[in-house]
Amino acid sequence: MRFLSVFGRYVIFMSRVFSRPEKARIYLKQTILEMESLGFNSVGIVIIISIFIGAVITLQTRYNLENPLLPLYIIGLTARDTMLLEFSSTMVGLILAGKVGSNIASEIGHMRITEQIDALEMMGVNSASYLVLPKIIATMVFNPFLTAISMSVGLFGGWMACIITGALPSADYLYGIQYYFIPFYIVYALIKTVFYAFIITSVSAFQGYNVKGGALEVGRASTRGVVFSSILILMTDVILTQLMLA
Amino acid sequence: MIEVKDLYKSFSGESVLDDISVSFEKGKTNLIIGRSGSGKTVLMKCIVGLHEADKGSVFFDGRDFLKMNFKERQNLRREIGMLFQGSALFDSLTVEENVMFPLNMFSDMTPGDKTDRVNFCLKRVNLENENALYPGELSGGMKKRVAIARAIVQNPKYLFCDEPNSGLDPITALLIDDLISEITKEFDITTIVNTHDMNSVMEIGEKVVFIHEGRKCWEGTKEDILNSEDVNLNDFVFASNFAKKIKAMTTDEIRDPENY
Ligand SMILES: Nc1ncnc2c1ncn2[C@@H]1O[C@H](COP(=O)(O)OP(=O)(O)O)[C@@H](O)[C@H]1O
Ligand SMILES: [Mg+2]
């Protein structure tokens, strides 16, 4: 019952977010600013994490596939498909849920408790739309780039691991990551990323927008934003995988 | 003129406003006074629809606000300026951008006209050459003045101020009060001010409404307030020892002094 009522309020909130903007030009400007603060500022963390995960996936595969019958390039191939299919979209999605989700929930929650949202409403601005729509568009447009960056950097990280540790000849790795390449995997990952961006932004914004009370509640809302969007990302992952790859 | 009729509001079964009917006059500074927690903020927010009243009606010059849909309310709200207790300036915008925000959102003025209008309003609240500062760099009194400038930038017909001088020193508080009262006269606005500060009442109160535990107990002018018979109002007005002594000196019959 409680779930239904929260879901109902979420739907009403989203219908306000997607109502027609007062001034398109201002929304466009906001969207560009949000791309910088929510998207561009996450490039660093995505690169760092992807390099290490690319490396560790390659090493793990190498040490756990101790079978002389399997050709060595299989390791590069496995690392590539893991990055492309799951890591660069879903893991990066979870990390962004933590970084971007908590940022959005606490920013909007702070605006709620300091009456800035009331101030917007009193000016006749649709506060839900003004605050949230630019963030949703910005992340849905920008996050696929983050995923693409993660894919290439991750594969590079795997290659570096081969060179530095000598666990696998560089040539085998490079052959493996090009072997039997399916371009649709990239499309599949980018589509998932767009869904995840929508989930992270809308769920965290909804949590922040409905804060009542003080700083403590803002903290709680930000935690809830991260937890709920993470769970929803994994549920969506299962559904989309079944729909697109089955 | 703003008329409130039979307004009720409760939060999860707990009644906060109980059958409030009152009217606020044009070109006057109307005060809502009462102790902390008496329901002043909730009343103000019910009038402008930031809280949804359970029952009752609110008329802005005859227009039934609570019956309006979302879009109609948005349009009427553009005629309202509101000053929030914590100023509610947008943290990420400068003073100038804060005041210009409503113009950017709703007016078709040229950039030059907008800047002129913003500077006019900032000058009106005696803030010049602070345009590029951020709210975090302002004192409490300056924040209030920026918020007043922002509230009047669109030439509102109605001005709502929630505790405009809370957290300010007595002199700054007086300046803010006077500013609100002057602006009300100058632009012929219907102004409503929430306060628990008797200094404000005596300084700017033209019409005074006293709220106690969610009920309207008394209304009148600041001249009547000292002679009122209402027990709760007397407790509120003469809360300080200083005020009690003045009252004792100026009235022959004082209501049971032992109780003070
Ligand atoms: N959003 C809310 N939810 C529940 N109770 C509230 C809410 N806002 C105010 N109240 C309660 O309403 C009463 C009046 O509050 P308020 O109008 O803020 O008082 P004040 O006269 O100091 O402005 C208080 O008892 C407060 O606890
Ligand atoms: Mg209050």
Q: Please choose, from the candidates A103, A111, A112, the residue with its C-alpha nearest in 3D space to the C-alpha of residue A138.
A: A103
Nearest CA-CA distance, residue B104 and chain A, Å: 8
Residue of B nearest to A26 (CA): B105
Q: Which helix (H) or strand (E) holds B218?
A: strand B215-220
Query: For B167-174, which contacts have Cβ atoms below 8 Å and span 24 or more sequence positions?
Result: B167/B140, B168/B140, B168/B141, B168/B144, B169/B141, B170/B199, B172/B140, B172/B141, B173/B197, B173/B199, B173/B200, B174/B199, B174/B203
Alpha-carbon span B72 to A42, nearest angstrom:
40
Residue A100 pLDDT greater than 90, yes or no: yes
Q: Which distant-in-sequence residues (6+ apart) come within 8 Å of A13 by Cβ?
A: A128, A206, A209, A210
- Maximum separation of any 2 CA atoms in chain B, in Å: 66
Residue B256 pLDDT greater than 70, yes or no: no
Residue B15 pLDDT greater than 70, yes or no: yes
CA B66 from chain centre, in angstroms, equals 20
Distance (Å) from CA B203 to ligand 2 centroid: 20
pLDDT confidence of residue B166: 85
Token digits of residue B97:
């951008």
Nearest CA-CA distance, residue B228 and chain A, Å: 36
B63-64 and B55-60: which strand pairing?
antiparallel
The sign of the CA dihedral B133, B135, B139, B140 is positive
Question: What is the three-class DSSP state of B61?
Answer: coil
CA distances from B198 to B163, B174, B208, B238 (A): 12, 11, 11, 9
Residue A91 pLDDT greater than 60, yes or no: yes
Angle at A95 between CA A91 and CA A98, to 5 degrees: 145
User: Which residue from B82, B85, B106 is facing A122, i.e. has the nearest CB?
Assistant: B82
Q: Which helix (H) or strand (E) holds A149?
A: helix A127-165
- Compute, in degrees rounded to 10, the torsion defined by CA atoms B157, B163, B169, B170: 70
Which residue, judged by its Cα, is nearest atom 3 of ligand 1? B11
Alpha-carbon span A193 to A87, nearest angstrom:
11
Residue B167 pLDDT greater than 90, yes or no: no
* pLDDT tens column, B180-191: 999 999 999 999
Nearest CA-CA distance, residue B48 and chain A, Å: 8
CA A233 from chain centre, in angstroms, equals 9
**A125 and chain B in contact, CB less than 8 A:** yes
pTM: 0.90
Residue A212 pLDDT greater than 70, yes or no: yes
Alpha-carbon span A22 to A204, nearest angstrom:
23
Alpha-carbon span B163 to B41, nearest angstrom:
9
Token digits of residue B57:
């009606």
Q: Which distant-in-sequence residues (6+ apart) come within 8 Å of A25 by Cβ?
A: none
Residue B260 pLDDT greater than 90, yes or no: no
ipTM above 0.90, yes or no: no
Exposure letters A17-55 (e unless 16+ CB within 10 A, then b): beeebbeeebbeebbeebbebbbeebeeebbebbbebbb
pLDDT confidence of residue B252: 54
What is the average pLDDT across B228-233?
A: 82
Residue B247 pLDDT greater than 80, yes or no: no
What is the average pLDDT across B80-87?
A: 94
- Compute, in degrees rounded to 10, the torsion defined by CA atoms B82, B9, B27, B73: 60
* pLDDT tens column, B31-63: 999 999 999 999 999 999 999 999 999 999 999
Residue of B nearest to A19 (CA): B71
Residue A221 pLDDT greater than 80, yes or no: yes
DSSP label at B188?
A: T
The sign of the CA dihedral A229, A231, A235, A238 is positive
What percent of chain B is predicted at pLDDT more than 90? 69
pLDDT confidence of residue B224: 85
Q: Are B133 and B94 in contact (CB under 8 A)?
A: yes
Distance (Å) from CA B41 to ligand 2 centroid: 4
What is the average pLDDT across A209-238?
A: 96
B172: confidence class by pLDDT, cuts 50, 70, 90: confident
Residue of B nearest to A16 (CA): B70
User: Which residue from B50, B86, B105 is facing A125, i.e. has the nearest CB?
Assistant: B105
**A33 and chain B in contact, CB less than 8 A:** no
Of the candidate ranges A19-23, A140-144, A167-171, B209-213, the one whose mean pLDDT is the lowest: A19-23
In the predicted model, what is the mean pLDDT of chain B? 90
CB-CB under 8 Å, B75 with A125: no
Token digits of residue B221:
């002018």
Residue of A nearest to B108 (CA): A23
Nearest CA-CA distance, residue B201 and chain A, Å: 25
**A44 and chain B in contact, CB less than 8 A:** no
Which residue, judged by its Cα, is nearest atom 14 of ligand 1? B39
Which residue, judged by its Cα, is nearest atom 6 of ligand 1? B11
Residue B253 pLDDT greater than 70, yes or no: no
Q: Is B139 exposed, middle or buried (0-12, 13-18, 19+ CB in 10 A)?
A: exposed
For residue A23, the chain B residues in CB contact (below 8 A) are 104-106
pLDDT confidence of residue A156: 97
CB-CB under 8 Å, A123 with B78: yes
